Every structure is written in C-alpha cells, then in structure tokens.
C-alpha cells in the first residue's frame, strides 16, 4: 500500500521515482501529467491473444468457455469454442454467459466473430450473443449483419429465428435505436444491426449447416430436454472438429462421427451428488443429469465407438474433486488420447 501511494504520487507529478516498478509507471507520461492514451489501450502483458499466424493447412480451437450450467466463475465461463482456419475463416460455436469476456481479453476482433453457430437455445449457450450484437458495431469493427446459425423447434417460437429476429431485436431495441444515431450504416435490416439467421432443421441427421471456402459444417439431432438441440462437425482439408452440444449418450452422435475426428469436444456431466452439494434438490439433480446430459462412463463408450484422435471433456465443473471421477469413469471404456478441459483459454492447434 505504501509503494502504491508513492507510485500514485510519482505519476501525478509527471515523474517516475526509482521505487516505482509497476507497469502503470512504465507507461509514457504526457506533459500534462496524464498517461498517453496509446499506452493505456495497448498493455500487452494484460492480454493473451491467439494471434500467432496459422499455417495454410492449420486449425486452431480456443476454449472461450468450458463451464457447466449455472456454475460460471472466473476460471470457467459458460460454453463457447472459437475455431480459426488457416484460410482466414473463423467460427464461434455457442456463446454462453461470460464467454465474451474471454474473447475480449484475447483481443479477438468483433469482425472475426460474425459467424455464430448455436447448438441449442438454453441461456448458458446463448446469453453473450446479446453484447456481441450490441457492441459489434458500437465498440468493435463489425459493420455488417451478425450471422447466426441454430436449430429449429417444434413450433416457430421455439426456433433460433424467432429468438433472434423477434426476441433479441425486441430486447435490444432501445440500445440499437440509440446507437443508430451515431454508428454509420447501422440499419436494423442490412447494416450493422441487422441479423442474418439460418435456421437448421433439428430433425435432420447429417444435415449441411455451412459449405463455403472448402469448409463443411454438418449437424445432427441431439437428445437434450426437449426437441430442438443439435451438434456440429467441421471438416476442412482432411481435418475435423466436433462439438456435441448438450446431449444424452446418443447413437445418432456415433453414427454421424463413426469416422472419428481430430478433435472431439463432448459435454460431460458431473455426478448428481456434486450437483446436490451445490444446493440443488436430489430429485432435480438426478433429472437434470440423467435426462439430458452424458455421464463420464458413457462418454468413454462414445469415444470407444468413434475413436477420435483426441477426445475432450468440456461443459463440466472442473473442480479438483471432479477430475479423478472424469478420468476414472472415461477410462473404463476408452484408453485412447483424452483431455480434460480444466479451465478456459486452453488452445488446441
């Protein structure tokens, strides 16, 4: 505290004392005694940016959110994967609460986040679409409509098109109306506050969600609470990345991934007792885990049937008491390469 006081006084006086050894003091100081804006904005030691140039035939996947349900904290935001390809393409798979903080921390430009693929419409997978939409043009560099892919539902009002074109636009109406007074080209239809939604038939197994620049993204039904959840598989230059989304163990998943994958991200539920320990009634904990998620032992069986080059647990509370359970249960059926995502900002090349 004493050193901090000295540092503050030194900066205020426009000088740097010998006892000052902080990054703030190392910034260049303006003549008026204020910090230069350039040095304030660019503090590289505060950020980890996945800006390493990719080879032409390389894929990078950054885990921007690995958390489970409402268990969101500093080390684990809600679900999101950021996929970058050597051809310059990039894709966001799910964008749950808190995950946008990781994108911002890693200084990912908003223009690189304009293709968002949602597995289903639970808030823990979709919440941060709101700030992405709101601030893409107002605080970032996206000046074209936000593009979103996601599943249909049994009724129109349960599909992604209704959620985005009606719900998101209504929720953000005051925000976008105010910013349209200062943001050029921010039309609510064709400009920066437009939304281009592609609704995918959740019932279709092996459907094509996206095909462009040699990239193919496929989808299939996932078994999660009610109808209207899907999983995704990206294929490019002989490589593949899979994200199960939330799902019960499913033969549909296995059928769509029986050729394996380079990276297979699959949700992994904690044991119900862990959910009970957080204050959830036992009956509800059992219902949540067993009716709509995949336990670690079942995940091991799925890996054994699909044989990925690397199977990855994600969407799980990665507390120390859980780690041994995940490992032991998966290993009952799967002895191959396996990675437990212990925290956000893990990067796979």
- Segment (H or E) for 265: strand 263-267
Among the residue ranges 30-34, 142-146, 284-288, 310-314, the one predicted with the least confidence is 30-34
Q: Please tell me the distance from the alpha carbon of residue 90 to that of residue 62, in angstroms, as a whole number.
A: 11
Q: Concatenate the DSSP letters of all residues of 157-210 into one string.
A: GGSHHHIIIIIIHHHTHHHHHHHTTTSTT--TTTSTT-EEEEEE-TT-TTEEEE
Closest C-alpha among 30, 39, 102, 168 to residue 343: 102
Question: For a pLDDT cut of 90, what percent of the chain falls above it?
Answer: 63
Mean pLDDT value across residues 277-296: 86
pTM: 0.85
Tens digits of residue pLDDT in 49-86: 556 788 999 999 999 999 987 778 888 999 999 999 99
Mean pLDDT value across residues 170-180: 93
Tens digits of residue pLDDT in 105-150: 888 989 999 999 999 999 999 999 999 999 998 878 888 999 999 9
162 to 140, 152, 156, 166: CA distances (angstroms)? 26, 9, 7, 5
Helices in 80-212 by DSSP H: which ranges? 99-105, 123-126, 129-135, 160-162, 169-171, 173-179
Its sign, for the CA torsion 145, 146, 147, 149, is negative
Query: Strand 239-243 vs strand 311-314: parallel, antiparallel, or unpaired?
Result: unpaired
Q: Please tell me the distance from the alpha carbon of residue 146 to that of residue 165, in angstroms, as a whole number.
A: 11
């Amino acid at each position: 505290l004493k050193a901090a006081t000295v540092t503050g006084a030194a900066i205020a006086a426009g000088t740097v004392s010998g006892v000052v050894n902080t990054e703030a003091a190392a910034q260049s100081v303006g003549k008026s005694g204020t910090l230069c804006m350039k040095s304030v904005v660019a503090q590289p030691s505060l950020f980890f940016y996945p800006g390493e140039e990719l080879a032409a035939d390389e894929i990078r996947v950054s885990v921007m959110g690995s958390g489970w349900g409402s268990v969101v904290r500093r080390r684990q935001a809600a679900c999101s994967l950021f996929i970058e390809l050597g051809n310059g393409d990039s894709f966001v798979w799910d964008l749950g609460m808190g995950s946008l903080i990781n994108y911002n921390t890693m200084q990912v430009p908003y223009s690189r986040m304009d293709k968002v693929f949602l597995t289903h419409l639970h808030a823990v997978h979709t919440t941060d679409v709101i700030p992405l939409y709101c601030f893409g043009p107002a605080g970032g560099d996206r000046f074209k409509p936000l593009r979103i892919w996601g599943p249909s539902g049994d009724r129109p009002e349960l599909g992604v098109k209704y959620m985005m074109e009606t719900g998101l636009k209504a929720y953000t109406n005051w925000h976008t109306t105010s910013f349209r007074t200062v943001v050029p080209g921010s039309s609510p239809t064709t400009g920066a506050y437009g939304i281009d939604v592609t609704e995918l038939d959740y019932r279709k197994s092996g459907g094509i969600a996206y095909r462009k620049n040699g990239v193919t993204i496929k989808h299939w039904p996932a078994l999660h609470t009610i109808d209207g959840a899907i999983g995704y598989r990206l294929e490019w230059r002989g490589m593949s990345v899979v994200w199960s989304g939330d799902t019960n163990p499913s033969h549909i998943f296995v059928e769509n991934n029986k050729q394996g994958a380079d990276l297979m991200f699959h949700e992994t539920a904690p044991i119900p007792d862990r959910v009970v320990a957080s204050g959830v009634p036992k009956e509800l904990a059992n219902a949540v885990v067993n009716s709509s998620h995949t336990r670690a032992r079942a995940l091991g069986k799925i890996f054994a049937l699909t044989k990925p080059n690397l199977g990855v647990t994600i969407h799980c509370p990665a507390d120390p008491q859980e780690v041994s359970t995940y490992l032991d249960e998966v290993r009952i059926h799967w002895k191959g390469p396996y990675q437990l995502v212990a925290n956000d900002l893990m990067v796979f090349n």
